[in-house]
């Protein structure tokens, strides 16, 4: 067993996503039982010694023809076993009382200090003054050092206990073997063969599991590595940022817990599950584990997240980027607000040769050629951009980036605004990659830059290609409206420096420039950042109102009502001759320049509002498509769908939609098409009440299928049905139309 353990380099544990609630409850019950068990490895070793004595093979059964000598020997053997057990218990009491008390005392103190540390970390953000927070951080560092000293001393005590226990076990076993030889007791050969075969079978099974884990390492849910002085480039902490080497100067090797995996696989391991695995490993082999694994096993399940990350920080497994503290308001949470500058992210990427996370190109020479081609195309689109006035920028090393602002949810379902940055260029999309692989003319070589469409930043894990700067609760930003503009002002100042002077690595050798091309997000996030006076929330609610509507778009004046009414600009007009075309970039949608635009080069005179980018997904898949799909289905059910009532006809559509998803391999997302999901009330426009944008994509495919089944096309007599058919065809061609419009713009320039 010891020889086998020396060869083991990795244990592979999969945390399946479909575990039942019963299994989770069973694990919690086992965890409560494990907390009661003593944590001393020496106690468990002596207990195992006692178990081995109890499991010694009994004397083989004798036949009726043998004399009663066998029974006498069996009685003597039983008495001898009891005597051995008494001696083991006596040695345990005499030799280990002092070690046990001292070790338990150290462990108890470390556990209490850990609880105090967790409580202090919870109250750190609530500290009012900066001096109090600084004092708390000093206390936290002192507590971490004290806990580390206690754990180190506890490990030494445990090692001494184990050594004494092993010496006693060796002498005791030697005496047992001598008396067993004198009493002519031997294990049965048949039992020995069965045990050997069983052991070989277990080893083969474990080896197969380890080989399978090695083959599937790219899709790991939780991996435990023994690291013997690995370099930073050899760590496998996902494929985002490379962690520093995880090692210790003395003692056995660490165990590294790596959580992650590919985005298309549902295998993840929570910190709480990691703690359970560590406890199970120590329970199976208490003497052969490393100090890091013992630290994981000592973390309380209630503090699994903070405890695990505390071990990661102490072991050098966190990204070495300093977090700045900003004063954004009067509340305690805004007095020392955490913020990571983009310049520090870029410096880190330069130091670790990970600049391809922003450009999508690994080779540096190829990256420079791609960037030169990108900026030549960008200049063709925006010839009046202020960027071309800066002669100090090396365009071969200028990286274009976007800001991404999105609102998510915390674990307690509280709205949270997350601000991050990602590169404009990336590895492309999966359809783009599949199309290239299916192209018979592609020889596997790089496409010439003049013909390369340049990949978007879609493929890859977002935690490896998007770099976070800050997050702010909605309750905080609502209570302090000036907090978000102040935050974006700091961000804009950092971006201005990156664009004008650039940034270098820690050695001051490699320099790159970063150009802020725009900010992305849903319309609500853009309105918050720009503090728009015209946005989609200002749309007219009635045909006539006392107060004139100011408009719904930050790029034009669509939806703006004027006196007389014939001068109004209706937003419902989507024709090529609509009145809002002439109002593009004629009037700013803000009263004061947004702070995120301070120092940002303008794409053209009066075109500052185009910095706030709208995208196809937010505007169509997650916006207008909900209204369009719900309206089309309600129009079709009036005259084309069988049924005696609206509910019956919608039920027919719902069943047909589910059958379509099943036969065409679409995910139906368990959506039920009825009045509620369609938002049908009879007095207002219908609007789909679903939260996933992918549902709109599937429903658009279904509408195309439904039109073919119902005979709706360009030759249909009903003009409304003909319009619906033309709209569906136009949406199918929308990505191609966008590409053609860009090419036409370049050609005209």
Boundaries of every domain in the chain: 1-17+216-318, 38-59+68-192, 324-530, 533-589, 616-748
Bridge partners (DSSP) listed for residue 257: 224
Neighbours of 645 (CB within 10 A): 8
92: number of CA atoms within 13 Å, CB side?
16
| For the chain, percent of residues with pLDDT exceeding 70 | 65
pLDDT of residue 396: 93
Helices (H), 183-299: 189-215, 271-284, 291-298
The C-alpha atoms of residue 153 and residue 110 are separated, in whole angstroms, by 10
What token pair was written down for 304? 């699994």
Residues in the chain: 749
Q: Lay out the sheet containing 254-259: strands in order across.
A: 10-13, 222-227, 254-259
Q: Are 369 and 362 in contact (CB under 8 A)?
A: no
Own/partner pairs, 596-600, CB within 8 angstroms, 24+ separation: 596/403, 596/488, 596/489, 596/491, 596/492, 596/519, 596/529, 596/530, 597/492, 598/489, 598/492, 598/493, 598/496, 599/492, 599/493, 599/495, 599/496, 599/499, 600/492, 600/495, 600/496, 600/499, 600/516
pTM for this predicted structure? 0.59
Neighbours of 33 (CB within 10 A): 9
pLDDT of residue 135: 76
Residue 468: strand, helix, or coil = strand
Q: Are 124 and 117 in contact (CB under 8 A)?
A: no
Q: Which residues of the chain have pLDDT under 50?
A: 1-22, 24, 36-43, 45-46, 48-67, 170, 183-192, 214, 216-267, 736-749
The C-alpha atoms of residue 642 and residue 652 are separated, in whole angstroms, by 8
Cis, bond preceding 647 (omega within 30 deg of 0): no
| Residue 20 C-alpha from the chain's centroid | 23
Q: Lay out the sheet containing 503-504: strands in order across.
A: 466-473, 415-423, 398-409, 511-521, 503-504
Q: What is the DSSP letter of 6?
A: H
pLDDT of residue 735: 58
pLDDT of residue 573: 83
Neighbours of 334 (CB within 10 A): 20
Per DSSP bridges, beta strands 511-521 and 398-409 are parallel
Residue with tokens 């999508």: 360
pLDDT of residue 252: 30
The C-alpha atoms of residue 77 and residue 541 are separated, in whole angstroms, by 95
- What b-and-e string marks burial along 494-531, b requiring 16 or more CB atoms within 10 Å of the CB? bbebbbeebbebeeeebebbbbbbebbbbbebbbbbbb
- The CA-to-CA distance between both ends of the chain, in Å, stands at 75
Q: What is the DSSP letter of 698?
A: H
């Amino acid at each position: 067993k010891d020889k086998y353990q020396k060869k083991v380099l990795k244990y592979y544990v999969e945390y399946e996503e479909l575990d039942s609630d019963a299994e989770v409850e069973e694990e919690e019950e086992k965890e409560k039982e494990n907390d009661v068990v003593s944590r001393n490895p020496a106690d468990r070793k002596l207990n195992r010694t006692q178990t081995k004595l109890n499991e010694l093979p009994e004397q083989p059964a004798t036949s009726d023809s043998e004399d009663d000598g066998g029974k006498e020997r069996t009685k003597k053997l039983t008495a001898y076993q009891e005597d051995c057990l008494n001696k083991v218990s006596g040695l345990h009491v005499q030799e280990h009382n002092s070690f046990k008390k001292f070790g338990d005392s150290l462990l108890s103190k470390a556990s209490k200090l850990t609880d105090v540390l967790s409580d202090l970390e919870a109250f750190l953000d609530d500290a009012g003054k900066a001096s109090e927070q600084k004092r708390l951080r000093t206390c936290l560092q002192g507590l971490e050092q004290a806990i580390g000293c206690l754990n180190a001393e506890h490990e030494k005590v445990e090692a001494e206990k184990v050594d004494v226990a092993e010496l006693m076990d060796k002498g005791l076993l030697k005496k047992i073997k001598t008396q067993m030889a004198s009493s002519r007791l031997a294990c049965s050969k048949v039992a020995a063969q069965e045990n050997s075969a069983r052991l070989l079978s277990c080893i083969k099974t474990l080896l197969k599991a380890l080989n399978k884990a090695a083959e599937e390492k790219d899709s790991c849910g939780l991996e435990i590595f023994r690291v013997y002085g690995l370099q930073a480039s050899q760590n496998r902490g996902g494929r985002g940022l490379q962690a520093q080497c995880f090692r210790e100067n003395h003692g056995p090797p660490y165990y590294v817990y790596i959580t992650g995996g590919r985005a298309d696989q549902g295998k993840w391991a929570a910190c709480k599950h990691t703690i359970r695995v560590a406890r199970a490993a120590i329970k199976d082999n208490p003497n052969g584990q490393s100090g890091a694994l013992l630290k994981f096993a000592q973390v309380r399940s209630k503090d699994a997240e903070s405890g695990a990350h505390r071990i990661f920080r102490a072991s050098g497994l966190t990204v070495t980027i300093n977090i700045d503290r900003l004063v954004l308001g009067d509340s305690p949470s805004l007095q020392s607000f955490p913020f990571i500058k983009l310049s520090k992210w870029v410096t880190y990427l330069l130091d670790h040769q990970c600049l391809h996370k922003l450009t999508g190109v690994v080779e540096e020479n190829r990256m420079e050629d791609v960037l030169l081609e990108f900026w030549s195309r960008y200049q063709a689109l925006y010839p009046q951009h202020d960027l071309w006035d800066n002669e100090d920028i090396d365009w071969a090393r200028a990286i274009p980036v976007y800001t991404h602002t999105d609102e998510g949810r915390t674990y307690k379902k509280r709205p949270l605004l997350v601000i991050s940055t990602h590169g404009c260029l990336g590895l492309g999309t999966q359809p783009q990659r599949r199309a290239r692989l299916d192209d018979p003319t592609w020889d596997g070589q790089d496409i010439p830059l003049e013909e390369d469409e340049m990949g978007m930043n879609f493929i890859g894990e977002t935690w490896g290609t998007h770099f976070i700067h800050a997050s702010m609760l909605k309750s905080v930003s609502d209570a302090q409206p000036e907090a978000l503009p102040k935050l974006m002002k700091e961000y804009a100042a950092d971006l201005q420096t990156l664009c004008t002077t650039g940034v270098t690595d820690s050695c001051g050798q490699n320099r790159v420039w970063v150009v802020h091309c725009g900010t992305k997000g849903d319309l609500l996030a853009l309105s918050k950042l720009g503090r728009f006076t015209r946005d989609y929330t200002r749309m007219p609610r009635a045909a006539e109102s006392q107060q004139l509507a100011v408009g719904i778009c930050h790029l034009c004046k669509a939806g703006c009502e004027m006196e007389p009414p014939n001068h109004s600009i209706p937003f419902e007009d989507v024709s090529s001759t609509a009145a809002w075309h002439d109002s593009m970039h004629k009037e700013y949608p803000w009263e004061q320049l947004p702070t995120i635009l301070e120092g940002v080069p303008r794409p053209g005179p009066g075109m500052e509002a185009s910095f706030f980018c709208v995208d196809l997904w937010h505007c169509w898949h997650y916006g207008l498509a909900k209204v369009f799909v719900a309206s089309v289905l309600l129009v079709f059910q009036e005259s084309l769908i069988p049924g005696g009532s609206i509910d019956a006809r919608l039920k027919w559509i719902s069943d047909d939609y589910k059958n379509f998803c099943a036969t065409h391999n679409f995910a139906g997302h368990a959506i039920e098409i009825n009045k509620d999901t369609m938002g049908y009330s009879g007095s207002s426009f219908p609007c789909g009440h679903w939260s996933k944008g992918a549902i709109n994509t599937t429903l658009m495919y279904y509408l195309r299928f439904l039109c073919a089944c119902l005979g709706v096309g360009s030759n249909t007599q009903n003009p409304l049905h003909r319009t619906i058919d033309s709209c569906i065809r136009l949406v199918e061609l929308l990505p191609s139309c966008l590409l053609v419009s860009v090419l036409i713009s370049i050609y005209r320039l």
